Structure 1
Amino acid sequence: MTLLGGIAHELSFTTKHENRATTWGRPYSNTRILEYCFSEDPTIATALLIATNRGRLAEIERVLSSAGWHVVAFHDAHKALEQLKSGGYRAIFCDYELRGASAQGFLAWQRRLAPAAPFYLIGADMPPRGAKVELLPFPLPLTQTPVPPDTPMPQAPVQREIPLAGDTALIPLSDLLAMIGLAGQSATVEFGASGEVGTVGLERGTLTHAETAQQHGLKALAALLVAGPCLFRVLPPRPSVRATVNLPVAAALTEAARLADEQRRYRGLIEAVAAACPSLLEASAGYLLGASELYNVTNEAGLGASPLFGLAKRLIEAQRQALGSRPLELYLLVEDYALALCLFGDDNLLVAKAPAAHAEALYRAVQHAVRHLPNG
C-alpha cells in the first residue's frame, strides 16, 4: 500500500473528534483534509495543529481560523505525526501541554520531515534548548497570532489634513473655534508656528483641551483669546492625555472670555477682597447675571460650576426686581464654607468663598470691595 493510501485508510477509521480540518471555523471531512494537504494551490495556507487537550485545541483552532489559516487539527500526537509526513503545511502549531507525547519530540520530527515550515510553540515559558521555534501565549490573542504568508495587511486609514490655515487677525480665534464647533468637527488647532502660542482640541462640537506654554484648560483658552494676532492651522484631531476643558464650544468660549475679563478688568476687585479677608478660598468676577450656568464641568470653571451658584443668581434676580438696580448682595452659609455674591456694574457678579468660621469677614470684604469700585 502506498503512503498516501495508508494514510487515507487510517483516516477513514477515525472519528470526527480525532482529526478534522476547518476553514474559517467550518468542519470538513477527512477527504477534505487530504485535498488541502496535497493541493498545489499556493493560495491555500494550511496549518497543522496538535493539542491533546480538546478544550485548548478548540480555542487555538478558532483563533487560527480567524487569522486566515486552514487548520488541520489533531488531539492524537501519533496521528499528527503521520499527517506531518504528507508535507504541504505552511506552519505548524503545537500546544506545549501534550499528553502521551512531548512538544520537544514532535519538534525533533518536524526538523526531519518539514524543516521549512515555521514551528510555533503555544503556552511554553521558554523554548527548548537549541530549538528554532517561536513562542505564543495561551490563551492566544488574535492580535499576536501569525497570519499566513502573503496575507495582505490592512491599510491604515489616510488622515487628510483639514485644508484650513490663516491668521487670527483675519479670522478671530473665537470665530474660528465657533465655526468648527458648529460644524461638529473634530480637529486640533495650532496657534503660532507649530503650536508655539498654544493648542486647542475639539471633538464633535466639544472643546476638550486647551494649553499654552504656561497654562492649560480654560485659563489657557482665556490667554489665547487675548494673545493678539497669530498664524493658525487646523489639523486632524490628536488624542490628548487628559480632557482639561470638556465643554460645548460656545460655553467654553463664554467662560474663557469671562476669565480674560477677570484678569484684565477685575483683578483689582479680587485683590481687594483677598486683602480684606486673608482666609479667602476663592473669588471670581465677571459672571453675567443672565448667562447659563456651567454645571458639572471641570474644576477650572470655578465657582460658576456649582448648581448652588445658579440658585443664588435667581435669588439675586428676584431681589433686584423687588428693590431696584443698585448693587445687591446675597450671603449663604453652606456646611463648612460661606459664599458671598454681589451684583455690580452692568449685571456683573462677584462671587467669593471662605471658611464658615470667617463668614463675617468675607461679607464685609465683598461689600467694601464693590462699593469702592471706580464706577461702583
Structure 2
Amino acid sequence: MTSQEVQAGVTYMGWNMTSYNYSGSSRVIAVEAGQQFNIGDFVMVYGGSSSTIASMVKTSYKSNKTSVATVDSKGVVKAKKTGKATITIKYKGQKLSCIVNVEKAGSFGEKDIIASAQNEVNALVKNLPSKVTGKNGFSLLKKKADYYKKMTDYTDDYAAKISYDGFLKENYSTTSKLAVPDASKYYRIQALLTTFAEKNSPTSTRSAKVLKVKSLSGKTSGITMKLNKAVTSDQILASNIESSYYNQDTLSQNTSKSYITVYDKTAGNKWYSGMVTLKKGSRSATLVLTKYKFSGGAGKYVKVKLKKGHTYQIGSSVYWTKGKTVKVK
C-alpha cells in the first residue's frame, strides 16, 4: 500500500503462513479428510496503523463444494471427503481465495512426528484467552516464545519436519500439507499480543500510553532519559511484545529492551543502534550505544562509548523521543 492509503485506513488482506503454494492467484492448502482448521487464522487484515487476522473480525467465508469441505461463518473449515474445494474469503471489499485439497486420512504419513508436534501445539493453545490483559499477557508471550523456539530447533525431528504453523516440510522446504491444523492459532496469539502492545506501547506514538522524554543527560558510558511518568507493568509487557526479538532470551516482567537509532551529529550524522532499557516503576530509562559486529561467523551487538563533547540525536522528530539531542560531558 502507499503511505496515503495507510493514512486513509484502506483495508488490505494478505496470507500469513510459511507455505507458499499457489495455483493461479489462489493459495493452496492440503489437509487430510476429517481435519478442521480456521482459515481466518492464516489471513492478515491490514488497515490504517493496525493489523489483525480475519478470524478475529467479521469476515465472510464460502465454499464452492461443500461435499468436499465446508466453512462456517467464523472461518472454520471442515474437510469431509477427498477432492478439491475453493474457499472464498471477503472482508470490506477485499477478497482472497484458497484451494483446499482434501486427501485420504493418514495419507500424509509421519504419524509419530505429527503426534509430537501436536503435543507442543496442545500446550500452546490450552486455555487460550479471547483477549490479552496485563494479568495473562506475560504468560501467553512466554508460552508463545517457548513454543517458537521448540518448533524451530531442528535438532528435534518434529521441528525439522513440521513448521511452527503446522505444515509438513520436505528437505527443509515447507509443503502445502497442513498436518497440524491447530498450529494456525499461533497467528491468533500473535495478533492478540500485538493488539495489546499497540494500545499500551511506551515507545509508539500511536499508543495512548506512549512515554515522553523530559530531559537527557549523557556520559561516555551512556545516556539517561528522564521520563514524564513511571513505567507501568502494562508498558513493560507491551515493550516485550513489540521488541520480542531482543527480549526472547531474557523475558522479564520488570524490564524490557528495545532499539532506537542514535545519530552522532558532531561526527556528521554517524549513526548507531541505541539499546534502551526500561524498568517497571522507574521514571528514567538508560540508553547505551551499540554496533552490530561479526565475529567467528556470528554477529552480535557490542557496546560503544560515546565521545565527550559530541552531540547525539535520539531518534527523529516523528518518533516517541521527538529527536531530542544531548551533549556528552
TM-score, normalised to structure 2, is: 0.25
Report 1 or 2 for greater relative contact order, CA contacts < 8 Å, sequence distance ≥ 6: 2
Higher Rg of the two aligned structures: 1
